[in-house]
Amino acid sequence: MWIALGSNLGDSVQIIRQAMDRLEALSTRPLLRSSLWLTSPVDCAPGTPPFVNAVVGLSPRPGETPESLLAALQLIERQFGRPAQYRRHEPRVLDLDLLAFGAVVRSDPTLTLPHPRAHQRRFVLAPLAEIAPDLVLPGQDRTVRELLEQLASDEVVQRLDPVTPPQRP
C-alpha cells in the first residue's frame, strides 16, 4: 500500500516525520520511507506556500481494507489538526492520500484507487520512485520511474537535505 504525505502549514518537515511514525503503527513491517521533498504547489491559489511531500509503503494489517485504511488516514489527519471539512487545494497541516492498495481498482464517491492523478504529479512520482521505482500502478503500463522520466510538468521538486534548512522552490 502506498501513501503520499504532504504539508504546507506549520513545521512541515517535523509534521511529515511525525506522521510517518504514526503510519508505522498501521504496518506489519517497517515502512518504506522516501526522502522529504520541497515542492511547488499544484492547482493552488497564488501565494500558497510550498509543500513538503513524501511517500511511504506499508504492509497492511490482516483484514485491512482500502476503506478501513482510508478511515485510519483521515483520523491521523484530524489528530494533526486538519478539519473534517476542507476545500480542495487549500493549505493544510497534513494531507494523507492513499495512492494504491495492491491491485485494487475502485471508483466511488469516497475512494478512487489508484489515486486518479498520482501518475501525473511529480511531487508524488519523485518520492515514490525513490522507494518503488519498478512499481506499476494499477491501470498504468509504465513503471513509476518511467512515468517520472516522461512527465511533462513545470512542477519544481527539490529533495531536502536533513542538514540544510528548506528553501522555497
Active-site residue numbers?
A: 82, 92, 95, 97
Q: Which residues pair with 113 in a beta bridge?
A: 106
Grid cell for residue 62: 490482516
Hey, CA dihedral for 61, 66, 69, 71, is it positive or negative? negative
User: 57 and 4 in contact (C-beta within 8 Å)?
Assistant: no
50, 92 contact by CB (below 8 A):
no
Bridge partners of residue 72, in order along the sequence: none
